[in-house]
Amino acid sequence: MNLAEKITIEETRHADALRFLAADAVEQAQSGHPGAPMGMADIAQVLWRRHLSHNPADPGWFNRDRFVLSNGHGSMLLYALLHLTGYDLPLSEIRQFRQLHSRTPGHPEVGLTPGVETTTGPLGQGLANAVGMALAEKLLARRYNHPGHMIVDHYTYVFVGDGCLMEGISHESCSLAGTLGLGKLICFYDDNGISIDGDVAGWFSDDTAARFAAYNWNVIANVDGHDAAAIDAAIFQAKSQPAAQARPTLICCRTHIGHGAPTKAGSHAVHGAPLGTDEIAAMRAARNWPYAEFELPQDVVDDWNAIEQGAARQLLWQQQFDRWQARYPEDARELARRLAGDIPDEALLALEDLLDASEALHGNIATRKASQIVLEAITPELPGLFGGSADLSGSNLTNVKSSVWVNHHGQGNYLSYGVREFGMAAVMNGLALHGGFIPYGGTFLTFSDYSRNAIRMAALMKQRVIHVFTHDSIGLGEDGPTHQPVEHLSALRIIPNNRVWRPCDGEETAIAWQQALKREDGPACLMLSRQNLTPFTREKTQREQIACGGYILQDAPHAQAVLIATGSEVGIAVKAAAALRDEGIAVRVVSMPCVELFFAQPQAWRDQVLPPDIPRVSIEAGSSWFWRSVVNNGIAIGIDTFGESAPAGQLYDYFGLNPQAVCKAVYALLDQAS
């Protein structure tokens, strides 16, 4: 046996360790997807043992390569890799695959399993997250690297399957990645020709290589996904591009799903179901694997362990970092703050100064304009704040004087994502996951439907991502029902761990931004008006109350009813309160810019703002269904149909969103009580 043959046999055994761990875990759980892990085991073996720079003893090492399993249903491949290379994921956790409270859930979850970079499952989003991570690496490298000091220098690797590439988000994110020239993004396409319904030829006949070449990707086609030498050569080719011409790389790997299974390999039968004990036994015999379930040969275990190698790589980088830090101490302090996610005092003070002194912020302006005023003040003081818009910068007002467009300069703090709402939201998740950035991005509220699942993933992953949604109601006017959001506020509010802010004026907008920036464990959605809104005068103590999500804006002794409103409808509630006062009826006006935050407050505060024994009327230019649980037996005034095309003022009257309707509702409640 020559050396090449010996190496091939050894590498096959290393890959088989992945295959059998995946097959055994799925079999024990009687649930899961063994096909992708078995089919991609050879690719994973080459990447993780020969190329991936990481330290299992320190999963958070900043300059590690990022690895994303976008086809997250194949999670046992990732768990097997983490276990074998030495992460804190013992065999007992592998045995508990898909069981309650295990660290090996059905799809990878960031923050739960050490070494998992992002939560994947909804196909295509992991790929878009990887684009965000590669963008983060490129931007940080251009900002902090200096000649002779390459302290930001890592790759982002991502595995994708046919399902990821069928999803539209793959087009959005990969088109953008090619335009931006993200040369350190390397994607492995598991071209096995199978999805759940069977052979994909009937529903996925794209020329994938030509498609990605058209995106300006470096495409390496026709790689045998079970040939370690071919895989290794492809990775070297991807990494050897001249820096000035670097493009993201797609390595098209032809594989057999369930590779190694004697009768089921290559069919959809192995995609999402256990192999069965007889098939696994036959596979053990066919592949000369004389070990019991979950048993691994010691030589393979030793070869896979990457702790020593990872520690050496990190130590070498740390020595380089120390030299860079000594030479560029200000840069080092700024980078450390960014990676920690800390908000500089200067940015918070700039917000306080705005609240105290800005006449513009307290003027009769749209809340989208108030948001821009806030961004003008804080952006210069907050390196790491990374803005953008889905081709609506001039409408969302997300662009400010200190915005430097990456699109034009190759670096900066702002990106026009093009008309790619879903891609934008998922790329922002990747930026946040990588570290060093607080991303915000803008579009119209009605288009939040496009990006909603990525917002949900940000909430699930507890990532600080800020969505700026303007044109938040029928108040946008003549564009009509296609652009007028109705159900969108409610739809976003019911996402767990998401916070929806709908401010009524400049002061509430500034507080909304303040709270969104301070929050480190989830996203925020800022709902902002196109039309100008009347500002309100408040005591300074009310600023803290705004930060509670809901507070008493105007009170009255012995109030007989409570009017609850958000955003542009707060002004309607205030006018209704004045009309009722003239009729001798005292009412309280409550502004509730963030309903979720208000209901997270102590019961005592909630009862103080909304006394249980006083009837309630809510008013919001959106679905009334959400508010019925808030007003209890009161009246929820809203819109439960689609809008119309007309000037905003006419629409509010047409849909009964006016002081007269509010007064009528209060009269009805008081009549019931009497």
Q: Is 8 exposed, middle or buried (0-12, 13-18, 19+ CB in 10 A)?
A: middle
Residue 208 amino acid letter = T
The answer to whether 488 is annotated as binding is no
The answer to whether 108 is annotated as binding is no
The answer to whether 169 is annotated as binding is no
How far does CA 70 lie from the centroid of its chain? 14
CB atoms within 10 A of CB 596: 18
The answer to whether 643 is annotated as binding is no
With a CB cutoff of 8 Å and minimum separation 6, the contacts of 578 are: none
The answer to whether 145 is annotated as binding is no
The answer to whether 194 is annotated as binding is yes
Residue in 530, 485, 567, 487 with CA at minimum distance from that of residue 647: 530
The answer to whether 530 is annotated as binding is yes
With a CB cutoff of 8 Å and minimum separation 6, the contacts of 218 are: 238, 241, 247, 248, 249, 250
Q: What is the DSSP letter of 410?
A: S
Give the Å distances, CA to CA, from 557 to 275, 316, 662, 670. Answer: 72, 70, 20, 17
The answer to whether 626 is annotated as binding is no
How far apart CA 9 and CA 17 sit, in angstroms, is: 13
SS (H, E, C) 288-344: CCCCCCCCCCHHHHHHHCCHHHHHHHHHHHHHHHHHHHHHCHHHHHHHHHHHHCCCC
The answer to whether 190 is annotated as binding is no
C-alpha torsion sign, points 161, 162, 166, 170: positive
The answer to whether 479 is annotated as binding is yes
SS3 content of the chain, % helix, strand, coil (to 5): 50, 15, 40
Q: Are 218 and 226 in contact (CB under 8 A)?
A: no
Query: If you write DSSP's letter for every residue of 94-140 in order, what string do you get?
Result: HHTTT-TT-S--SS--TTTSTT--S---STTHHHHHHHHHHHHHHHH
The answer to whether 373 is annotated as binding is no
The answer to whether 222 is annotated as binding is no
How far apart CA 558 and CA 614 sit, in angstroms, is: 10
The answer to whether 259 is annotated as binding is no
Residue with tokens 């040969």: 297
The answer to whether 447 is annotated as binding is yes
CB atoms within 10 A of CB 299: 11
Which pair of structure tokens corresponds to residue 252?
Answer: 């098209």
The answer to whether 121 is annotated as binding is yes
C-alpha torsion sign, points 242, 245, 248, 252: negative
User: Which one of 421, 508, 569, 620 is the catalytic residue?
Assistant: 421
Query: If you write DSSP's letter for every residue of 345-385 in order, what string do you get?
Result: HHHHHHHHHHHHH-TTTTSSB-HHHHHHHHHHHHGGG-TTE
From edge to edge, which strands make up the β-sheet containing 185-191? 66-69, 156-161, 185-191, 249-254, 218-224
Q: Are 540 and 565 in contact (CB under 8 A)?
A: no
Q: Are 405 and 139 in contact (CB under 8 A)?
A: no
C-alpha torsion sign, points 207, 211, 212, 213: positive
Note the helical H segments in 146-207.
162-166, 168-180
Q: Is 241 exposed, middle or buried (0-12, 13-18, 19+ CB in 10 A)?
A: middle
The answer to whether 163 is annotated as binding is yes
The answer to whether 33 is annotated as binding is yes
How far apart CA 112 and CA 110 sit, in angstroms, is: 5
The reply to whether 569 belongs to the active site is: no
Q: Which residues are catalytic?
A: 421
Give the residue ranges of the annotated binding site for substrate.
33, 271, 368, 395, 471, 479, 483, 530
Residue ranges of the annotated binding site for Mg(2+) are 162, 192, 194
Positions at the binding site for thiamine diphosphate:
73, 121-123, 163, 192, 271, 447
Q: Binding-site residues, please?
A: 33, 73, 121-123, 162-163, 192, 194, 271, 368, 395, 447, 471, 479, 483, 530
